[in-house]
Amino acid sequence: MRAKLSISSCFEELSRLRTFVRDFCIDKIQGPHDEETIWKLELAAHEAAANVIEHAYDGHKEQRLVIEIELTGAQQILLKIFHFGKPFSPPAGPSSCVENLQNRGYGLTLLRESMDEVKYLQDEKGENCIYLLKNLST
Amino acid sequence: MEFKVEPAGDVAVIVIPAETLEMKNIQDFKDNIVSHLEGHKKIVFDLGRLNFIDSSGCGSLSFCMRTMKEKEDGSNIYLCCANNQVSATFRLIRLNRVFDIFETRDDAINAFTN
């Protein structure tokens, strides 16, 4: 079971992305961890796409992101965010420390804390993919 | 973004008017909250209308707290009325370590006065 969405690279589109993820999950996920799992998936999709818009596309609004969401046979939700912007390599080292009262830098922490697996991939054609996996049993 | 300030003694209760605090509106938030941060020592942010906050929204709250701390006069901000999702987002990045977060507005106001 799979669905696909294409959005333009502007922050105003992110509410449509969250609705897309929520609607898919409400339709497909059944069980006691529903609401928490759904909002974590919404949040992760939002954060990953926001990073693409801001950093991969430098805020240019005329670019595209394609999002695929899938319920796998292994009871996982797989979210893939495809883009042709600048590739990203997550920095090594500790996450941003909230006690330092930084303005920014919490997005990677939110991604890692809400998903079971986060990968940044690129194919031979230069298309980038942010791969987010959530096990429905956790 | 316009903020409604409801005085409760010497505590300024500021209702965050937006339903989301995220990349598309955080600059508007920061531009318009600064004068309130400068003008009050005791602030309660009522988050009751907020149903989504992202990392940039959390960062803007950190910005507010840092602005208050830099005054070095005991200025502080308490948060209240966050819904389940907003509270859970705070816990994911441990924002609850730098903010006192209360269930109700009265609890936050009383914490300042007690």
Give me the interface pTM, i.e. the ipTM: 0.91
Strands (E), chain A: 2-8, 64-71, 76-83, 117-122, 128-135
Q: Is B55 within 8 Å of A107 when comparing Cβ atoms?
A: yes
Q: Which of A67, A49, A68 lies closest to A10, judged by CA?
A: A49
Report the 10 Å Cβ neighbour count for B97. Answer: 11
Report strand pairing: B11-15 vs B42-46.
parallel
Summarised one tens digit per residue, pLDDT across range A10-47 is: 999 999 999 999 999 988 877 665 788 899 999 999 99
Among positive and negative, which fits the CA dihedral B85, B90, B93, B96? negative
Nearest to B98 among A12, A54, A101 (CB): A101
Chain B interface disruption, residue of A53, A106, A114, most B CBs within 10 A: A106
Q: Is B88 within 8 Å of A39 when comparing Cβ atoms?
A: yes
Summarised one tens digit per residue, pLDDT across range B6-54 is: 999 999 999 999 999 999 999 999 999 999 999 999 999 999 999 999 9
Nearest to B59 among A15, A46, A102 (CB): A102
- Total-model pTM: 0.92
Q: How far apart are CA A46 and CA B62, in angstroms?
A: 20
Q: Is B89 within 8 Å of A110 when comparing Cβ atoms?
A: yes
